[in-house]
Structure 1
Amino acid sequence: MNEKRLEKVLEKMKEDNLDQLLLCDPSSIFYLTNKWIYPGERMHILSIVSNGDVKFFVNKLFPIEEDLGVEIVWLDDTDEQIKILSDYVIPRFVGVDKDLSAKFLIPIMNVVDDADFIVGSYIIDNLRAIKDEDEIVNMKKSSSLNDKAMEKMKDKLSLDLSEKEMGRFLADTYEELGASGFSFDPIIAYGKNASNPHHENDDSKKEIGDSIVVDMGCRYLDYCSDMTRTFFYKEVSDEDKKVYDTVLLANLKAIEKIKPGELLSNIDKAARDVIEEAGYGEYFTHRTGHFIGLETHDKGDVSSANHNICEVGNIFSIEPGIYIPGGVGVRIEDLVLVTEDGCEILNSYPKELQIINN
C-alpha cells in the first residue's frame, strides 16, 4: 500500500465527510496498492474507511503472492459476495466508484438501506491528476520512447504498406524500444480516412497528396504516452497546407496559454479561436485535450465545459484538429506537464510539415 497516497485519500474523505470509499477501477487500485488485477465481470473492490481501515475484496481466481500491506478478503464464485461486502459497509456516507457496475451497486444499496451513496471516485481521480516525481519520470520516458517510435514510423511510411501493416510494425517497434505495448490502439489514417478522428486501421494504402494521421502511444512502467503527427505523401496542396498551418498554430497558441491557475476552458478557447478565425470551426469536432497517466484518458479534459484550473503536476494532451469529410484530416498532438512557471512539452518529435517520399 502506498501510505503517502492513502493518507491523502483519507484527508480528503474527512474534509468531505465521507465515511467510506468503495473503489473498483483497476487503475485507481493499482495507484494505491501497486497491484494490477483485471477482474472482468467479477466483483473486485478496495474498501477504505475514514478511520484508516482498508480491505481488498478479491476473487480467489486472482492470487496475490506479494504483501500489499492491506487486509485481503478472499471471495469465491459461489459465495454470497454482496452479503460479505455489505457486512463491512459503514451505514452513513459511502462514496462509490464511478465505474462500479449496477449489478453490484444496486444489491449493496438494497442491503445497506440506511446509507447515503454518492459517486466518490473524484477523490482519487483528483489525486491522480497531479503527478508525483516518479510518475513524471515514467511519463517522460514513455514519451521519449514514443518520439523514437514516431521517427521509425515516418521512415517506414515511405514503403507501400497498408494502415494495418503500419500498425503491426509499430507493435514490433515498441517491443524493440523497451515499451510494454500500446497505451491505446494506434490510428494510422490515410487520405479520406484521416478526416475521421477515430478511424480504425484498415487495408487502405497511400495515394499521392494524402494526409497521413499517425496517433500513437505506448506504456512504460505502467504509464501512458500519446502523440499525433500528420504527414503528407509526396506532395501537399496549398489548401491542405493552410489546414496544416492552422492546426499547428492552434496547437502552439494553446500551449502558450498553459500555466498554473489558468482555466482549462481558456486553453481550449485559445486553440478553437485560431481554427474558427481561419474558417474551419465546424471541422474541429472534439475537445482540445484529455488528461493522461495510468490510463490514456484519465479523468479530466481540456474543453469548453471544464472550468477547473491548471495545477502544477497536471499532464494532459493538446491536440487540435481539422477534419473535412471526404477531404483532408490533420491533427497535431503533444503531451504537456504543468510546471511552476508554465509548462513543459513531454515529447520532442518535430511538428513542422513533413512530406513523405519514396
Structure 2
Amino acid sequence: MFNRKYIDKLTTEMEKREVDAMIITPSTDLEFLMGFSPHMDERFQGLFYLKDRRYFYIVPKLNEEEIGKAIGKDAAIYAWDDGEGYLGQVKKAFEDFDLMHKKIAVNGSTRAISMLDIQGIVEVNFINGNEILEEIRIIKDEEETEYLRKAAKLADEVYEDIVKFIRPGIQEKDIKDKIEELFMEKGGDGLSFNPIIASGPNSSKPHYNEYARYIQEKDVIILDFGCTYKGLCSDMSRTVFVGGISDEERKVYEIIYQANKAGEKAAKEGVAAESVDKVSRDVIKNAGYGEYFLNRLGHGIGYSVHEAPDIKGGNERILEKGMAFSIEPGIYMPGKFGMRIEDIVCITENGSEVLNKASKEIIIV
C-alpha cells in the first residue's frame, strides 16, 4: 500500500523532529505516500501515521469502501456517517492509539476548522507538518527525474502546436481548451494546474484566470501551462506577440530573457536558493524594472506543481543534486502589459539541466 521509500523517510523525519503522529488528508501528499487520494470535500477524513509505523484512517462512510481497498483490509478504519459526525470516531481512535497529549503534525490540505473542532474534544499539540512532507520528496531520484523530463517534453510539444492555433478573434478560453486537448492527445495524465492565458492588459496580472477576453492584434499573451506524467508535473511559461511587437515590448522581453538565462546558469549544487533569485532579480533591477518583478524567482516541482524548494530571497537552503524547480522571471506593469519566461531545471552533479527545450526566441503569431 505505502510507497516504502517515502514512508521510511517520513518515519525518520518524524523521529528526528520528535513528532508522534502525522495527519495527511486528501491531497497529492496522500497520493504519493499511499498511491491513492479520494475526492476531497467538507467531510473530514485522513490517514494518521504514527512514528512507530502504526496507522489508521478516519473516513466518511460514503468513502469507506474505496479507502478499505486502498489501505488494506487489516488496517484500522474509523468510519462515520453524516448524522453522527466525525468527532466521536476521532476521540475513539486517539484513545485506542494513545495519542492524547501528543505532538501531531498536519499536512497543508488539512482544514483549520477541523483541527479546531478536534482540539475541542481531545488534548493534543498540532504543528505544521508541511515542511516534513516537503523534505521527504525534495530530492528526486533518476526515475522521477526522467518523468519530469517527459512531462516537460510534453509541455514543449504543446507549446509548438499552440502558437500555430493562436489568432485574433479567438477567446482566451479557446486557447485553454486547446492546451488541455493537446496534452491528452500527446499522452499526459492530466493538467498539473489550470493553464494561465493572459492576453493584452490581462498579461500584467501574473495569475489571471478568467479566460474571458478575445485575442486582438498587437496583444502580448502569457501562456503558462503544464501536465502530469506518472504523477510528476511540468510547468512552463512563454510569452508570444500577436501581429507585431513594439520597441518597448522587445526591450522588456530581452531583459526577462537575460534574467532567465542568468538564473539558470547560477543554479547549481552547493549554491543557496536565495542567491539564484538575486542573480536573476539583479538583471531586472539593474535595467530599471525591479519594482515590476513581483514574485519569487521560482518554486520547487515534483508530485505537486508547487513544492520545495522556493527560489526566493531569504531562503538559505543549499541546492542539492536531484532538486527540481522553476526559473520564471517576469515583469508586470499594470495598465500596460506583462511578460514571463519559465523553465524547469534540475540540479545535477555538473550544474543544472534545463528540462524545457521550447524556443525562447521572440515569436510573433
Shorter chain as denominator, the TM-score bin is over 0.9
Of 278-287 and 132-141, deviating more is 132-141
Deviations 1:79-137 (A, max 9, x none): 52332332232533322224322332123333332x43322232121112222233222
Deviates further, 68-77 or 21-30: 68-77
Q: Which residue of 1 aligns with 2:45?
A: 44
Q: Is the 8 A contact 1:58 1:72 kept in 2?
A: no
Amino acid across the alignment from 1:73: I
What does residue 235 of structure 1 align with?
A: 244
SS of 1:111's equivalent?
Answer: coil
Structure 2 CA distance, aligned partners of 1:273 and 1:279? Answer: 10
**1:101 and 2:111 matched:** yes
| Structure 1 residue ranges without an equivalent (≥5) | none
CA offset digits 1:235-273 (Å, max 9, x no partner):
111111110000000001011111122111111111110
Maintained 8 Å contact 2:26/2:37: no
CA distance in 2, matches of 1:83, 1:42: 16
Paired position in structure 2 for 1:226:
235
Quote the residue 2:77 is aligned against: 73
Q: Distance in 1 between matches of 2:100 and 2:352?
A: 42
5+ residue gaps, structure 2: none
Which of the residues 151, 159, 173 maps onto 1:142? 151
What does 1:107-146 correspond to in 2, within 5 Å? 107-113=117-123, 115-146=124-155
Select which of 197, 204, 212 maps to 1:195. Answer: 204
Equivalent in the alignment of 1:265:
274
Q: Which residue type is aligned with residue 326 of structure 1?
A: G
Moved over 4 A (4+): none
> What is the match of residue 298 of structure 1?
307
> Residue type of the partner of 2:105?
G
**In 2 relative to 1, CA 101–203 (structure 1 residues): closer, same or farther, beyond 3 Å?**
closer
Residue 331 in structure 1 maps to residue 335 in structure 2: no
**Residues 299, 279 of structure 1: CA spacing in aligned structure 2 closer, same or farther, 3 A cutoff?**
same
| 1:59 matched residue in structure 2 | 60
Conserved? CA contact 1:188–1:214, under 8 Å: yes
Residue identity matched to 1:107: D
Q: Does 1:182 align with 2:186?
A: no
**2:152 touches 2:356 (CA, 8 Å); kept in 1?**
yes
* CA-to-aligned-CA distance 1:192-226 (integer Å, 9 cap, x gap): 11111112243423333321111111122222211
Give the 3 Å change call, closer, same or farther, for CA 48–240 of structure 1 in structure 2.
same
Counterpart CA distance in 2 for 1:83 and 1:134 is: 41
Q: Give the residue type in structure 2 aligned to 1:197.
A: P
- Corresponding position of 2:265: 256
**Counterpart residue identity of residue 343, structure 2:** D
Q: Which amino acid aligns with 1:85?
A: A
Partner in structure 2 of residue 24 of structure 1: 25
Letter in 2 for 1:175: M
Shift of 1:334: 0.3
Using the TM superposition, name which of 273-282 and 94-103 deviates more. Answer: 94-103
Contact 1:24 1:45 in 2 (8 A): yes
User: What residue number does 2:213 align with?
Assistant: 204
CA distance in 2, matches of 1:208, 1:105: 52
Match of 1:286 among 290, 295, 310: 295
Partners of 1:20 and 1:90 within 8 A in 2: no
Q: Distance in 2 between matches of 1:186 and 1:289?
A: 17
**Structure 2 residue aligned with 1:318, among 327, 331, 354?**
327
Residue 159 of structure 1: CA displacement?
A: 5.8
RMSD: 1.9
SS in 1 for 2:209: coil
Deviation at 1:150, TM superposition (A): 0.7
Q: Does the CA-based 8 Å contact 1:22-1:97 persist in structure 2?
A: yes
State the partner residue of 1:168: 177
Q: Deviations over 1:162-212 (max 9, x none)?
A: 211111111211121121332111111222111111122434233333211
Aligned residue identity for 2:21: Q
Aligned-pair identity in percent equals: 34
1:46/1:55 contact within 8 Å kept: yes
CA distance in 1, matches of 2:184, 2:148: 17
Residue 245 of structure 1 aligns to a residue whose secondary structure is helix
- Kindly provide the CA deviation profile for residues 13-56 of structure 1, in whole angstroms up to 9, marking residues without a partner as x: 11222222222252111121111212311222211212111223
Q: What is the SS of the residue equivalent to 2:59?
A: strand
Deviates more, 1:85-94 or 1:126-135: 85-94
CA contact (8 A) 1:284 1:320 kept: yes
Match among 333, 343, 351 for residue 352 of structure 2: 343
Deviations 1:293-320 (A, max 9, x none): 2222124411113221212211111110
User: d(CA) in 1 for partners of 2:176 and 2:144?
Assistant: 27
Letter of the aligned partner of 2:61 in structure 1?
A: K
SS of 1:122's partner is helix
TM-score scaled to structure 1, two decimals?
0.93
